[in-house]
Structure 1
Amino acid sequence: MTDYAIGDIQGCYDELRTVLDTVSFSPSRDCLWVAGDLINRGPSSLDTLRFIEQLGESAKVVLGNHDLHFLAVAIGGHRLRKKDTLADILEAPDHQRLLAWLRQQHLCLHDQKRNLVMSHAGIPHIWSVAQAMALAGEVEAVIRGNDAESYFTHMYGNEPDCWSDELEGTDRWRVITNYLTRMRFVSDAGALELTSKEGVETAPEGYAPWFEFPRDDDVRVVFGHWAALDGNTGQDRFVGLDTGCVWGGALTLMNLDTGEKLRCDC
């Protein structure tokens, strides 16, 4: 059995099947960890979602901002955006099953044996792994429960921009979501800067990439979300897997035990 992790697929179904075929991936034997943004912007969001859902227990999935955007359209009353490629899912006869499955997925996963954490955008230095898992669990429960409509209605926004234990309700849920699915640059105090999306050299004054701040642990963090990095963080313990497939880059698959990476050009 081999566990693989894959970066942002974003509806690039053909590339997904190509890279999995290259390693002879078998759901009866192997497991696929998906670092979020399964869907949107690419040409085959429906096929991608169906394929990963049908992997069953052979897939471990964290939600990305594009996955949450789909849920916000389906549940929170938001409209599709001009560049979205989600209409095929909303119009599919099995969309309710796919929607229910997506709501059951995680925002953060922790593999204690591997000393590994995976979330779509990473975890900020101001949170321990235990805290990140607990806060992710809070929002996961909301997404799965009766407050889901309220959550998705109020999910968007850049405020509050910094974590506080005193936060409650939609403000609390929003900032947790932003750390786990939208974070790139943060301040030493942990404040989020969510408007800058390019490489590390474009950090606004007073901010730096979240993975450049020291942590009190040695956990390995696997994440996606930041295509401009092309997977390069400068540190072995922080593993970026978003290599911009949907933008003409590559789709990256990594063996979680050996660290070996395989790229499929897009």
Structure 2
Amino acid sequence: MSTYLIGDIHGCYDELQSLLAQVAFNPEHDTLWLTGDLVARGPASLDVLRFVRSLGDSVRLVLGNHDLHLLAVYAGISRNKPKDRLTPLLDAPDADELINWLRRQPLLQVDEEKRLVMAHAGITPQWDLATAQMCAREVEAVLSSDSYPLFLDAMYGDMPNNWSPELSGLSRLRFSTNALTRMRFCFPNGQLDMIAKEAPESAPPPLKPWFAIPGPVAQDYTIVFGHWAALEGRGTPEGIIGLDTGCCWGGTLTMLRWEDGSLFVQPSNRERMIVS
């Protein structure tokens, strides 16, 4: 019985299957953790969703910003961009089932026995674990409710960018969503910057990667995240693991076996592209 953690798949179904074949993944015995962004940019988002859904209780995933964007597109709130290659999924006969399954997935995974936390973008240093769990549950509750289109219509935006327990309503939900699915850089006080996307060494001062600012969660748990392909899985401190290695951009799909720390890599089938 092994636990495997995989970075952003982004519709790269063939690479996912090849990566799982490297370790003879068996859903009857093994568990798969996925850092989110299952869909968009790659060629086979529909196949990825169908496969991941078929795994049932043997998969633990979190939603990423591209997964949320898919929900907004399906709800008629956002535009279907050709570069996201979502049309086959949107037109599929089981699209409604897949979308309703997807919007009921979590934004945060916590395993107390393993002392392991996973979120798509990471954990803002302004949160302790109890706050992160509370904020994730609030977003999950509205996504799984009949009023989810109202939230999806209001989730786009960069403000507020500073956590306060006094935040409420859609502003609170937007901050939590940005922190869990879009965050890369923070100001030294932990306030989010939602503009910079480059590699850490190219960021304008005083911005720092969120993981370079001490936070309470990182003191007690290993944090696994995706989202930031420009890192190429490098440059994080001990106990914080970035697994997005840009498969949809021509990089690789990376998997970590939790029990022994072994890494497995599957090269992309696509030509290398510049990450943006």
TM range (shorter): over 0.9
Q: Name the structure 2 match of 1:78.
A: 78
Native 8 Å contact 1:2 1:31 kept in 2: yes
Q: Determine what percentage of the aligned residue pairs are the same residue.
A: 48
Q: Measure, in 1, the Cα distance between the counterparts of 2:239 and 2:76.
A: 36
Q: Which runs of 5+ in 2 are unaligned?
A: 269-276
Native 8 Å contact 1:75 1:148 kept in 2: no
| Alpha-carbon distance, 1:84 to partner | 1.4
- How does 1:18-97 map onto structure 2 within 5 Å? 18-75=18-75, 77-97=77-97
Native 8 Å contact 1:37 1:64 kept in 2: yes
Q: Measure, in 1, the Cα distance between the counterparts of 2:32 and 2:128.
A: 25
Q: Which runs of 5+ in 1 are unaligned?
A: none
1:176-212 CA-partner distances (Å, limit 9, x unpaired): 0000000000012221111211111122222100001
Q: 1:257 aligns with which of 234, 256, 259?
A: 259
The amino acid of 1:214's aligned partner reads: P
- How does 1:119-134 map onto structure 2 within 5 Å? 119-134=119-134
Q: 2:231 aligns with which of 224, 229, 232?
A: 229
**What's the RMSD between the two structures over aligned residues?**
1.0
The amino acid of 1:186's aligned partner reads: C
Q: Measure, in 1, the Cα distance between the counterparts of 2:228 and 2:118.
A: 14
Q: Measure, in 2, the Cα distance between the counterparts of 1:85 and 1:233.
A: 31
Native 8 Å contact 2:8 2:36 kept in 1: yes
Q: Name the structure 2 match of 1:182.
A: 182
Structure 1 consecutive aligned stretches of length 4 or more whose deviation exceeds 3 Å: none
Native 8 Å contact 2:190 2:213 kept in 1: no
Query: What SS class does the counterpart of residue 83 from structure 1 fall into?
Result: helix
Q: Measure, in 1, the Cα distance between the counterparts of 2:60 and 2:76.
A: 25
Q: Name the structure 2 match of 1:141.
A: 141
Native 8 Å contact 2:236 2:242 kept in 1: no
Native 8 Å contact 1:186 1:207 kept in 2: yes
Native 8 Å contact 1:28 1:58 kept in 2: yes
Give the total of aligned pairs.
266
Native 8 Å contact 1:76 1:151 kept in 2: no
| Alpha-carbon distance, 1:76 to partner | 5.1
